[in-house]
Each structure stands twice: as structure tokens, then as C-alpha cells.
Structure 1
Amino acid sequence: MDAFRHILVVVDPADEQHKAINRALHMARLSDARLTLFLSIYDFSYEMTTMLSREERDTMRANLIADRKAWLTDVLADYDTTEVRMDIEVVWHNRPFEAIIETVIRHGHDLIIKASQVKSSLQNLLFTPTDWHLLRKAPCAVLLVKEHAWPQHGQIIAAVHSGSDEVHHESLNQRVIEHAEAMSHVLKASVHLVNAYPGAPVNVAVEIPEFDVTQYTEELQHHHQHKMRELGRRYQIGEKQQHVAQGLPEQVIPEFSEKLDAELVVMGTIGRTGISAALLGNTAEHVLEQLNCDVLAVKPEDFVSPLA
């Protein structure tokens, strides 16, 4: 796939470092992507006041939007935006994630860039409700940004599920690797495949005494290694850049991210909602909050946003 061409940059006024803007400008300079700086604002008091007529409230909202656009223009004055194609959009909406997704659908953006908060004690990502809504419902890829630098000739991790023969896993693996390779071309980085696989259930030896845990574990390891080699050959990623380890994804992926000093981890997200999203979200959250680098979340090819 080609690099991202039309990027929606979610601006957080509380982020004095403007991490999303910095990352987006970096990508735009390297890939000639078009940027839309986006801000969603809302003040409930302006909707409920009885002292203003509808026309007066509309005028006040328009003035606030114009003020925020002027603020964004002032922010950009501190950057070199020469030859960067850029638009500014400010909307009045009481649910930021819906405003973001509606804008993506309306304008056909292929990537959302948003900064995530940081836990000061652990320096890990702290995901907001808006982040989780975007991970589950956005129709395009979502890049959640932290402070980790993006040096050229760095490392990108594609987190894959190499041991499964199920069609949806194979399709999502393909999407994850293709996005990782597209980003590697932009950043002149190397792509590493990382796969976590589970060990034998802890109670199986007690319930089935004749069960050979060691043999089962070795066979499972060989199966995942074999599948990983197949995946590597398909995408011409060498064995030195293939990593298979026993453990939970929330342990294995952050460990390799730290070991490789990766600037980006590309992961697949199913995009479920309701109870299944809550269950899925537990695993995803545990992976994401342990990473000290940016995360690019990729949806399945046939994913349709519930807000579309």
C-alpha cells in the first residue's frame, strides 16, 4: 500500500507540546500528505442559556469557532509549514469522537493522528474515552502519539497473529504488515514481526495427568515459528527480524518494543462494540498502556464504522 495521503490531525489545546502536530508535519514533509488540523469544541452553557435567542447563540458559536481557528493559525506560526498542504477545521460538537469520525467519513481521510496523555509516574500511555472510541469505531487507521522520537533507520514492529489459519487473522496480518512496510518506506526504518503465543493451560496437567506439557509447548512453539517463517518469506522479511515468544501479548509486545527501541508498533484492532468490545479492550488496553512508543491501530479491510 502507499503511504497515507490525507491525514486528520486531532489537536488537543491542553497538549503544550503539540505532539500530534509535530508528528503530522514530520510525516507530511516525508510523504507529501495533506493535513487537516481538527478541533472539536463545545460549551454546554451556550446551548442552555435562556438569555440569548437562537440567532445570538449561533453568532456566539460562530465567533468561538473563528477564535479557535485563529488560535490554530497562531500555533502554526511557530512551525515551518513551507510546502505542506494544510487545512484547518473547527467544529461545534458535544462528542469529540463522533465529530472526528464524521469528518473522516465526509472527507475521506485515511489516517487519524492524535496525541495520548502520559502517566507521569510510569511514562506510559493513558488512553482517554475518545481514544478508545476511535480505536473501536474509526473507519481508518489511528496513530496514537507519544514522545518517542522518529529517527530514520529506526525500528517498526508489526504485531501479528502468525499461528492462526483463520481467514480474518490472515487478512488482518496482511493489513498490519502492509501498513508497517508503508511507514518503513517513509521513515527509512526496518520492519520486525512479533508474535506472542500462549503456553499450556495451567490446570491441564492436574486434570489430565498423562498430558505432556513439555511436548505440547515445544510443538506449539515449532508451529508458530514455522508459520512466522512463512509469513516472513511472503513479505521478504528476514528471520533476524522475526520474533516469536511464549507469553501474553501485553507482555511480549512491550518487551520487544523496549528491546528494539521501536518508534512505532503497528497492531490490528477488530473494532467490536458492546460487551465484546469490553472484553477485547482489556487485552488491547494492557498492550497499549505498556508501550513507550507510538501505536498505529489498523482495522480489517471490510470494517465499516458503526457511525457511517
Structure 2
Amino acid sequence: MLMYKNILVVLDAEDDEHKALSRGLHLASLLSAQLTLFVSIYDFSYEMTTMLSGEEREQMRDSLIHERRHWVQGLLKEREVENLDVNVEVVWHHRPFEAIIRCALEHNHDLIIKGAKKHGALQSVLFTPTDWHLLRKAPCQVLLVKEHAWPEQGGRVLAAVHAATTSEDHKSLNKKVIQSAYAMSEKLKASLHLINSYPSAPSAIAIEIPDFDTYQYQESVRSYHEEEIKKLTEELHADAYELHLEEGMPEDRIPALAEEIDAGLVVLGTVGRTGISAALLGNTAEHVIGRLNCDLLALKPEGFNCPLG
């Protein structure tokens, strides 16, 4: 599990630190994986220039692609890549997320690495960022990188699961999350932490039912989640972890715990959505990403069908 062999790194000229590149080179070195450095460029003015012929516009696009490829090669010269298998791909495309996904499909990449950017809630609703598109539609796992560095050893990987789910798809995704987080923690020489949040008792229930024992209810819910996660980890033979049972919503508890334990990486499952539900509701991964101060590894359920495929 998690033995990535074909990694796609999305480069961003506006990211002076090139976090995705650094992370991709690190993983490729650890896993002896092939690395493709990917850039999508587009300039609308080139398409609207009526004074140029189609051939001249094509030549201008090719010139820009050549310049950007040269820029990528310059980035590589600044880093140690002699023992790595690194390819460079630069494409002209007006929708970056489509270009990324098509490249991943065409070349069977098993991981996409991209630097994450924060977006305001309103902007995310009206103008869905590339990060969100990748979380919903990418055909493989997605690693969104932030500024938090990965220590050479002694770091922490946090896996987020919902062990009490009754959905078979989500149960399968739970297993995938734990297996991937466990494998990543081993490679990074990091400790593994599991978080499972559970809901609080409705505040109005004690008023509506005077004899209702809120404390006993919460203890029962907690015990149930604890038993379910023990069953899950025993089935996977995963015993080297620290469990965090947290009362509250996952989009609140996951970022809070990640900051508390200074996690370098959070691993969780994400499901694809389209239409109005994708625009307005999102899912746990999408609510969490903007609030994390560390990397996010998002996994898809088994059998996920990419909308572009």
C-alpha cells in the first residue's frame, strides 16, 4: 500500500518556495518513483489576436511552452536529481484542473502533488479552485502541500476515519486511509495517530426529555466508536498508533488536533461530487483543507470513476 511509482507534480510559477516540487523529489527519492513535473499555461490574449494567423499563434504558444520548460529545467539544476527519473511536461490548456487530470489518466499516475492555496468561503463557492476540482475528480490520490516541513524523523501522521459508518464504501475508505497513513508514517519515520470524531448530544434533547442522561449518552456513543475503530485496526493488523476520540464535528476536530500534535500530514478520504452539492456543500476534506497548517493526503474510494475518464 502506498508504494507510489509514478508521481505527477504540479508546478506553480507563483509559488516561490516550490513546496510541491520539494515534496515530490523527497517522495521520489524515498520510493524510487518516476516523477513528472507538470505545468499548464494559457494566455487568452493569444487566442484573440486577430492580426496573427493561426500558424503564427501556434508558434507563439510553442515559444511560451519552450520558455516554461526551460524554467522547469532551471529549477531542477538547483536541486539534487541525478539519481531520479524525472520528466517534464508543459501543456497549453485553458482549464488547469482538466489538464492535470487528463495527464494523470493518460500516464497512469498514482499520486498528484500540488501546492495548496487558501480561498475564502465565498470565493470557493463562486469560483471553485483547482484544488477542489482535484479533490473531487482526480483519478488517483492527491497530496496538497502547505508550508509545514516534514521532519526527517520524529514527525506525526494523522489519519482521519469515521469508524461507526454503516456504508460499505466508507468502510472500505476507512481501511484505505489507515493503510496509507501507516505506510506513509513508516516511510517518514513518523508516529501514526488516528482521529475519530463523534457527534455531541443535541442540546435541546435534555429540555424535551427531562430524564435524559446526557453524560451517559455521550459515554455510550464514545464507547461505540472506540469499539468500532478497534475492530477496524485489528482487522488491518495496525496496532502501532495513538487513538484520539474527539467529540465534535470532523471539520473542527481534525484541524485542531493536527495543530495540537504538530502533524506534518493529515490523511483522509474524500468522495467526488458534482453539480449543486459540490458547489455549496463540499465534503469533509474540502472543509478541512483551508484550516490545516500541514499537508493533506486525500484518498478516493475503490472503484472511483473520474468524470473526465
Query: Is TM more than 0.5 here?
Result: yes
User: 1:1-308 maps to which residues of 2 (within 5 A)?
Assistant: 1-117=1-117, 129-151=129-151, 152-238=153-239, 241-281=242-282, 283-308=284-309
| 1:243 to 1:237, Cα distance in 2 relative to 1, 3 A | farther
Q: Equivalent residue of 2:282, what SS?
A: helix
Q: Distance in 2 between matches of 1:177 and 1:248?
A: 20
- The gaps in structure 2 that reach 5 residues or longer are 120-126
Q: Which amino acid aligns with 1:221?
A: R
Q: Which amino acid aligns with 2:38?
A: F
Q: Is the CA contact 1:3–1:183 (under 8 Å) kept in the aligned structure 2?
A: no
Q: Which amino acid aligns with 1:150?
A: W
Q: Is the CA contact 2:205–2:212 (under 8 Å) kept in the aligned structure 1?
A: yes
State the Cα distance separating 1:292 from its structure 2 match: 1.0
> Could you list the per-position Cα deviations for residues 202-251 of structure 1 after superposition, in whole angstroms to 9, with x for gaps in the alignment?
22233344433222211111101111222222233338611111111122
Q: Distance in 2 between matches of 1:7 and 1:135?
A: 16
Q: Distance in 1 between matches of 2:219 and 2:16?
A: 50
Q: Distance in 2 between matches of 1:105 and 1:183?
A: 24
Q: Is the CA contact 1:8–1:109 (under 8 Å) kept in the aligned structure 2?
A: yes
Q: Is the CA contact 1:116–1:128 (under 8 Å) kept in the aligned structure 2?
A: no
- The gaps in structure 1 that reach 5 residues or longer are 120-126
Q: Which amino acid aligns with 1:13?
A: A
Q: Which amino acid aligns with 2:59?
A: T
Q: How many residues align?
A: 301
Q: Which amino acid aligns with 2:251?
A: E
Q: Equivalent residue of 2:245, what SS?
A: strand
The alignment's C-alpha RMSD in Å is 1.8
Q: Distance in 2 between matches of 1:240 and 1:28?
A: 26
Q: Distance in 2 between matches of 1:118 and 1:101?
A: 21
State the Cα distance separating 1:153 from its structure 2 match: 3.3
> Could you list the per-position Cα deviations for residues 255-291 of structure 1 after superposition, in whole angstroms to 9, with x for gaps in the alignment?
2212221110001001111222235426433322221
> Could you list the per-position Cα deviations for residues 61-83 of structure 1 after superposition, in whole angstroms to 9, with x for gaps in the alignment?
11111111011111111111111
Q: Is the CA contact 2:144–2:295 (under 8 Å) kept in the aligned structure 1?
A: yes
Q: Distance in 1 between matches of 2:258 and 2:286?
A: 16
Deviates more, 1:163-172 or 1:218-227: 163-172
Q: Equivalent residue of 2:39, what SS?
A: strand
State the Cα distance separating 1:2 from its structure 2 match: 4.0
Q: Is the CA contact 1:7–1:110 (under 8 Å) kept in the aligned structure 2?
A: yes
| 1:24 to 1:250, Cα distance in 2 relative to 1, 3 A | same
Q: TM-score, normalised by structure 1?
A: 0.92
Q: Is the CA contact 1:5–1:33 (under 8 Å) kept in the aligned structure 2?
A: yes
| 1:128 to 1:9, Cα distance in 2 relative to 1, 3 A | farther
Q: Equivalent residue of 1:236, what SS?
A: coil
| 1:212 to 1:279, Cα distance in 2 relative to 1, 3 A | farther
| 1:285 to 1:189, Cα distance in 2 relative to 1, 3 A | same
Q: Equivalent residue of 1:277, what SS?
A: helix
Q: Equivalent residue of 1:87, what SS?
A: strand
The alignment-based identity, stated in percent, is: 56
Q: Distance in 2 between matches of 1:168 and 1:44?
A: 42
Q: Equivalent residue of 2:74, what SS?
A: helix
Q: Distance in 2 between matches of 1:90 and 1:301?
A: 30
Q: Is the CA contact 1:267–1:297 (under 8 Å) kept in the aligned structure 2?
A: yes
Q: Distance in 1 between matches of 2:208 and 2:240?
A: 38
| 1:240 to 1:89, Cα distance in 2 relative to 1, 3 A | closer
